[in-house]
Structure 1
Amino acid sequence: MSTQESQDLGEVNEVTLVGRMSQPAEEQVLPSGSELWKFRVIVGRPPSPASRVTVDTLDCVVWAKRPARSVSKWQTGDLVEVKGSLRRRFFAPAGGGRVSRCEVEVAAARLIRRAGG
């Protein structure tokens, strides 16, 4: 199925998160030379009788330069908003084998409020 066919069917892969930074973003240079920034956003969950878990900690990755400049300045506890798409990325970590990870590929990012502010 083409991208256009998916859009015609109303399929959507859009993610918006508003939450707190778990720690500062980390820059990573891949063996290919590509650069990315990785971080986690902590988002509260609504109460549920099915689970005692009160937060989700979600992996985010930034490939584009513009949002990378923003996230590189964020600190632990900052309240942030990220927009992007959910992606499943496959890679081979040191030590062999192939693994996959689901993460939000960030297209836009903004600081809402500094921690403690």
Structure 2
Amino acid sequence: MDNPSALPSSSRRGTPAGWQTCEEVEHRNEILLAGRVIAEPSVRELHNGGQLVTWRIAVNRPSSKRRPRQEADPITCVSFHRDMVELTRDWRIGDTVQVTGALRRRFWRSVHGAASVFEVEAKTARRVKAADSSAVTSRGCQ
């Protein structure tokens, strides 16, 4: 084509067809996870009187020839919502859960210098299946 402006915007900028460019879409940070609980929720009291609940889940990966031994990704989830403490209280290792939230990077000073970790800050959570039964519970925190 003689006129580059006649091309779809995605083709001009090298963006895959159907995708929007940064100028065309708002920034988003949304996570949806489903996996097995591998560390039961624990609650920590904060200096401001609030509570922080933390748990870990393992999310299975599709099988891969590149990494045949890494079958799942362990992911730390946290929440500052007061209701989440109660919602996760009866979760046990092996339960299947679903979590929505946002990816966050937390920084702190350690004896070895600055350190950081990525976590999912949970907005909603529900147990889909208990480890020892097929009971389904649906609870969330907004």
Could you tell me the TM-score, scaled by structure 2's length?
0.69
Report SS of the residue matched to 1:24.
Answer: strand
Any unmatched runs of 5+ in structure 1? 1-5
Runs of 4+ in 1 over 6 A off after TM superposition: none
SS at match of 1:66: helix
> In the comparison of the two structures, how many residue pairs are matched?
111
Q: In structure 1, what is the Cα distance between the partners aligned to 2:81 and 2:65?
A: 39
Query: Relative CO higher for 1 or 2, CA cutoff 8 Å, sep ≥ 6?
Result: 1
Q: Aligned AA for 2:88?
A: V
Task: Give structure 2 stretches of 5+ with no counterpart.
Answer: 1-21, 134-142
Asked if the contact 2:53/2:84 (under 8 Å) is kept, the reply is: no
What is the alpha-carbon root mean square deviation over aligned residues?
Answer: 2.2
Give the TM-score, by structure 1 length. 0.82
2:116 matched to 1:106? no
Match of 2:77?
60
Match of 1:44 among 42, 53, 60: 60
Which has the higher Rg, Structure 1 or Structure 2?
2
Match runs of 1:8-27 below 5 Å: 9-27=25-43
The 1:79–1:97 alpha-carbon spacing in structure 2 relative to 1, beyond 3 Å, is same
Distance in 2, Cα, partners of 1:90 & 1:30: 16
State whether residues 29 and 36 of structure 1, in contact with CA within 8 Å, keep that contact through their aligned partners in structure 2: yes
Supply the distance in 2 between the matched residues of 1:30 and 1:98 (Cα, whole angstroms).
21
Distance in 2 of aligned mates of 1:10 and 1:61: 25
